[in-house]
Structure 1
Amino acid sequence: MANKLSACTSILIGKGASIDGTIMIGRNEDAKAAWPKHMVVHQHGEMPTHFISKETKLELDLPADSARYTATPEWTDKAGIFEEDGINEYDVAMSATESAYSNSLVLGYDPLVEHGLNEEAMVTVVLPYIKTAREGVQRLGNLIAKYGTGETNGVLFADNDEAWYFESGAGHYWVAQRIPDDSYAVVANQLAIQEIDFTDSDNFMFHPGIQEFVDKHNLNPDPTTFNFRKIFGTADRSDAVYSEPRVWIGHQMFSPKQATDETPESTELPFLMKPDRKLSIFDAQRYLSNHYEGTEFDPIGTGKSGHKYRPISLAKTQESHILQMNRPGANIHWLAMGVAAESTYVPFFNGITDVPAPYKRGKLPAQLNSAYWIFKHAGVLVDSHLHDFLPLLREVQKERNSAAIEMIAKTDREVKTMTGNSRASYLTMQSSGYAIDTLNAYKKLALALITKMTDYCELNFKTDENL
């Protein structure tokens, strides 16, 4: 369990499973409770042609022409950039990574590579150089096959047509599966992809030598099929309390009619599910903000099992994002700084040229001119008297969510006739306006909470009410 503290939770939704025909891929980036993030927009042609990883020392020559893209780097690059998520100018989205774990037998024959391509560099060396989600899968797969990786990871890709989930299963071997249009997937720190159909190139991609590798070393416990999860993954007690419950709650949220026999510790939970109803952007947000509310496992609830399982939304979340594609206007990079359950997802349209200054800031120690710290500040104040203050936070979140939909609908109407610089300027103005308004709402909330807390001090004395 000690090795599983830095981890994430992911969701992928096909366009036929969504209420509005959009494709959504999203993830919580979890590492440390106070580890700031910020947002950047890399301009076209900005990236260097030679890359050196600060973490693994891997060196790569990169194409001369790099696309514009959004990203959310770490506050410090001492251990690497960790750009994590973004959408490029060709409307390709990428989120990296969902940490996972390979079994010892597989790693004995294909060990992890000390100087390979890891999470910290994946977005940086892939997203600026691809024009489709499939190209993203292939580029990442080729890089890992050639240079290796020091981690077992899942990576999300999407464009305006399809979503893909990529998994590396050892030092060099990988597979990827297309999310069917009518389905969704939720993933929680386990290798998730199951049956591979090597004859179906429309829905599967893979390392060309993976079958030979598995056969040569007798790695398949059931040679009648090729189940990637069972061949390369783990299934131990830590999975049962750390990973599987987060998949279970997703199925309970979106497919309760199909998931009646599932339990939080079920070991055979399917990778792909069809929802019982069409899913909205707020459903994706609710999943990434979930902490088992409404069940006995809610850590802030009244049940006796409140800390039995690792929740989806927790104090260690640095940022949460949903990349919404195939939209009628501009695609959207939704970003919630800090703990998703205590934050608000801010919509940044693809095509913006910049983000407001507070979203570009974020350092240690805390600074209240940073979006990350403004959201965290309100969150820790709510935490101090949770049951008194949570309703006030929920009021702000509800108002901001409604305002987001109103702003997006207006923007969609206006940009239909816009092109070039005027379109980019308008998208930037609309995104920035909402982002700043949301920060102001959280600043106002923080001041209201401080005001209410002034009489909570233990240095109080209840005198006769007539005195």
Structure 2
Amino acid sequence: MIRALSGLLWLDAASQTAACTVFAVGKMATKDGSVLISHSDDGSPTNDARLLYVPAADHSPDEKRPIYYTPELFPRYLGYHMGPDYRPDADTKAYNLSDPIGYIEQVPHTFGYQSGTYGVLNEHGVSVAESTCSAVFGTCGKGSTVGCEPGRKVGSALMSIDTLSYLAMERTRTSREAVELMGSLASKYGFYGPPDSFEGSGESLVVGDPDEAWAFQILSDPTGTSAIWAAKRLPDDQMTVVANMYTIREVKANDKENYILSPNIFEVAKSKGWWKEGTAFDFTLMYSGGEYAHKYYSGRRMWRGLQMAKPSLALPTTYEDIRYKPVYPWSVVPDAKVSHHDLMAWHRDWYAGTEFDMTKGIQAGPFGTPDRYQTVSSKVKGHWERSIALYRTNAVYVQQLHHPGEGRPQGMASVAWYAAGPPHYAAFVPIPSGVNETIHALQFANPKKFENYSMNWLVRRVMDVCQIRFDVMHNYVYSAQQAVEMQADALIEKVRQAGTTSPAELNKIFQEHASQVLQKWKELMPFLLFRFSGNTDIETMQSLSYPDAWLDASGYKDGPPDAPKEDRCPPNCDPPASAAEVVV
């Protein structure tokens, strides 16, 4: 739960950390000339992991657009405003319909888009990727009493990052338009951050389209009625990473090509005595609350993301405080051109091959799992290392954004690749922007009921099984991922070459592909259980034992000693001297 003290936020450590990781790559740095952005939706088991389509719609001149509170728990929204798949069904009938907390002016026409907790991809190739950040100011949503700043009993701010992303999907054709729209709405109606989040009350979006990507970073203003925000354009030949901390440093008000800023960005810092006119203005220094959870929680992922894109660049792995003394560049030119498969690999990363490799050491258990579950102990204090791959990821989006033309028909140029669950256990399923319905395999993710037609649940089931013998089981998961993702690449190319643009045809093709991947994951779990039953490789019938290093570290050699040698009498007795000496 977020509270404010002396203008700075303190955080209730009992709250669940969400903690998403975001990447963006400019079009001159990618293999196919697309803009790439991505987002891991890391949260609690109660979050809403469904991917649902919101259809395009026409609206009457006097119509108002309702705004809803966005708790992000399942179901994140329930009602009739966002299309048929948000209406009550067997999974959601026990929940109440969502009530509006306010209204804004509606536009004559809204675009269709795929929606998760945030907007994913609209029909024009506009896309967003989100990462919550700590911030020096926070407030509560309109009508809410949770997370209000001192002196406020009930919130007045209408816009959350979820709502802003949906409005951007509905109303904009470019990323610059999306940034300008979201910023103006937040300034006008007020912005509130996650009210029950450990991580903070600020937010960051990377906003992309086929031409460019922007980092958009926002927080409430100190009155709780407006917003402070900055947006910075990513150079076309570079990549950047955001990991639950603001990254925009010096902002330049006169550089309209590369910066878009809220009207109050300088005045608020000046009024607090944090900044003087004539000096450089560092957005992160002024408005970030720094890292949360523990030191290196954000910085380690920043380091790793930049290092994977540019291995030739030597970057430090330690630092003092990256809010007050930045150590990493905002963006880098990758050593090699980047593909969407690279971003998938980045999201599956657990620092393999580095000194922080999560599959090594006693913390990884005997069988080298990179997963570190949330630890709650009143006696043992400490922290796990935080990698990019995370067991509690609800979904990952990798958005591959391209203009129509050059063999890419309208509706097939931009593609959202969606992994329904932790990315190191999930397969990425393609959803082109021309698909105008919900993909059935991704439609269901009831956190309180296992559903064997839910991709999210099947991925989680594979993850749980892999904890038994991650070192040998995960190789089969990786092979399955590579196989279906290569098949997806071939399918996309085939559809593009055929010139298929009919939504009905695209829906059928990509529904079928997702169903095939669902079936593959349905078969994967029992295969793994059978193949390595009883810690034995069933194919060879050889016991898999334990690794020597873990045996040495675990105290195995200090266990019970070897059995005593049975070398005394009997049976090792001296034979009698002669038969006459035998006593009868």
Shorter-chain TM band = 0.7 to 0.9
**Structure 1 residues 246-395: aligned runs within 5 Å:** 246-258=301-313, 260-265=314-319, 267=322, 268=326, 269-302=328-361, 308-326=384-402, 328=406, 329=408, 330=412, 331-363=414-446, 364-395=448-479
Q: 2:174 aligns with which of 132, 135, 155?
A: 132
1:155 paired residue number = 205
Task: Name the SS of the counterpart of 1:199 in structure 2.
Answer: coil
Q: 1:288 to 1:49 in 2, by over 3 A?
A: farther
Separation in structure 1 between the aligned mates of residue 361 and residue 482 of structure 2, nearest angstrom: 24
- CA contact 1:297–1:308 (8 Å) conserved in 2: no
1:451 shift after superposition: 2.1
Give me the whole-angstrom Cα distance separating, in 1, the residues matched to 2:437 and 2:189. Answer: 34
**1:88, 1:435 → 2: CA distance?**
19
* Offset at residue 261 of structure 1 (A): 3.6
Tell me the residue number matched to 1:215.
270
The alpha carbon displacement at 1:295 in A equals 2.1
**Equivalent in the alignment of 2:67:** 52
172-181 vs 376-385, which moves further? 376-385
Aligned to 2:496: 412
Structure 1 residues 265 and 283, CA gap change in structure 2 (3 angstroms) = farther
Number of residue pairs matched?
441
Shift of 1:447: 2.0
Are 1:66 and 2:110 an aligned pair? yes
Contact 1:162 1:178 in 2 (8 A): yes
Instruction: Work out the CA distance in 1 between the residues paired with 2:271 and 2:435.
Output: 50
Q: Percent identity?
A: 22
Match of 1:76 in 2: none
Could you tell me whether the CA contact under 8 Å between 2:134 and 2:290 is conserved in 1?
no
Does the CA-based 8 Å contact 2:56-2:112 persist in structure 1? yes
Distance (Å, rounded) in 1 between the aligned partners of 2:520 and 2:318:
37
Amino acid corresponding to residue 358 of structure 1 in structure 2: A
Indicate if the aligned counterparts of 2:23 and 2:241 stay in contact, CA closer than 8 A: yes
Conserved in 2, the CA contact under 8 Å of 1:37 and 1:337? yes
Counterpart code for 1:201:
K
Structure 1 runs of 4+ aligned residues shifted over 6 Å read 104-112, 303-307
Letter in 2 for 1:218: G
Structure 1 position 452 matched with structure 2 position 535? no
Instruction: Point out the more displaced range, 388-397 or 178-187.
Output: 388-397
Give 1:182 deviation, angstroms: 0.5
One-letter amino acid of the structure 2 residue matched with residue 316 of structure 1: R
Q: 3-state SS of the aligned residue for 1:224?
A: coil
Task: Provide, for residues 409-440 of structure 1, a one-character-per-residue CA deviation record: whole Å limited to 9, x for no partner.
Answer: 2122122xx55xxx323322332222112111
Q: Is the counterpart of residue 85 in structure 1 residue 119 in structure 2? A: yes
Deviation at 1:36, TM superposition (A): 4.8
Match of 2:515 among 423, 436, 443: 436
* Change in 2 beyond 3 A, CA 1:105/1:451: closer
- d(CA) in 1 for partners of 2:150 and 2:337? 43
Moved more, 236-245 or 174-183: 236-245
2:260 is matched with which residue?
205
From the CA coordinates, give the structure whose radius of gyration is larger. 2
Conservation of the 8 A alpha-carbon contact between 2:301 and 2:388: yes
1:118 counterpart = 2:151: no
1:54-96, CA deviations, whole angstroms, 9 ceiling, x for partnerless residues?
3486412232421111112xxxxxxxxx3x132112221123x
Q: Deviations over 1:148-184 (max 9, x none)?
A: 2222100121112111110004331101011110011
In 1, are the aligned partners of 2:453 and 2:518 still within 8 Å (CA)? no
Judge conservation of contact 1:34–1:316 (CA < 8 Å) in 2. Answer: no
Distance 1:382 1:238, change over 3 A: closer
Return the alpha-carbon distance in structure 2 between the equivalents of residues 312 and 166 of structure 1: 21
Unaligned runs of at least 5 residues, structure 2: 1-10, 72-99, 140-147, 194-201, 222-226, 365-369, 371-382, 542-584
Residue 40 of structure 2, aligned match among 17, 28, 53: 28
Paired residue type of 1:94? V
CA shift for structure 1 position 337 = 0.6
Indicate the residue corresponding to 2:24 in structure 1: 12
**Contact 2:214–2:234 (8 Å) recurs in 1:** yes
Alpha-carbon distance change, 452 to 92 in structure 1, aligned in 2, over 3 angstroms: same
Deviations 1:377-431 (A, max 9, x none): 222112222112111111111211221221122122122xx55xxx323322332
1:101 is aligned to 2:134: yes
- Is 2:291–2:298's contact at 8 Å kept on the other side of the alignment? no
Distance change (3 Å), C-alpha of 1:243 and 1:222: farther
Distance 1:55 1:43 in 2: 20
Query: Per the alignment, do residues 27 and 236 of structure 1 end up closer, same or farther by CA in structure 2, a change over 3 Å counting?
Result: closer
CA distance in 1, matches of 2:282, 2:69: 35
Counterpart-to-counterpart distance in 1, 2:458 and 2:464: 10
The separation in 1 between residues aligned to 2:295 and 2:41, in whole angstroms, is: 21
- TM-score by length of structure 2 reads 0.70
On the 8 A contact 1:34/1:318 being kept in 2, the answer is no
Cα separation, 2, equivalents of 1:349 and 1:115: 34
TM-score (norm 1): 0.86
Residues 134 and 292 in structure 2, CA contact (< 8 A), matched pair in contact too: no
Q: Which range is displaced more, 235-244 or 100-109? A: 100-109
Q: Deviations over 1:188-216 (max 9, x none)?
A: 00011111111111111011232223223
Query: Is the 1:94–1:157 contact (alpha carbons within 8 Å) kept by the matching residues of 2?
Result: yes
* Stretch deviating more after TM superposition (263-272 or 322-331): 263-272
Bigger Cα displacement from structure 2, 30-39 vs 395-404: 30-39
Contact 1:297/1:303 (8 A) holds in 2: no
CA contact (8 A) 1:193 1:228 kept: yes
User: In structure 2, do the counterparts of structure 1 residues 169 and 332 end up closer, same or farther at CA, with 3 Å as the change threshold?
Assistant: same
Q: Which of the two has greater helix per residue?
A: 1
Aligned-pair distance for 1:31?
0.8
RMSD (CA atoms): 2.9
Which of 53-62 and 436-445 deviates more? 53-62
Among 187, 192, 196, the alignment partner of 1:145 is 187
Q: Residues 313, 34 of structure 1: CA spacing in aligned structure 2 closer, same or farther, 3 A cutoff? A: farther
- Distance between the aligned counterparts of 2:489 and 2:440, measured in 1? 23
Q: 1:278 to 1:346 in 2, by over 3 A?
A: same
Over 3 Å counting, the alpha-carbon distance change for 1:203 and 1:160 in structure 2 is: same
Alpha-carbon spacing, 1:26–1:432, altered in 2? closer, same or farther (3 Å): same
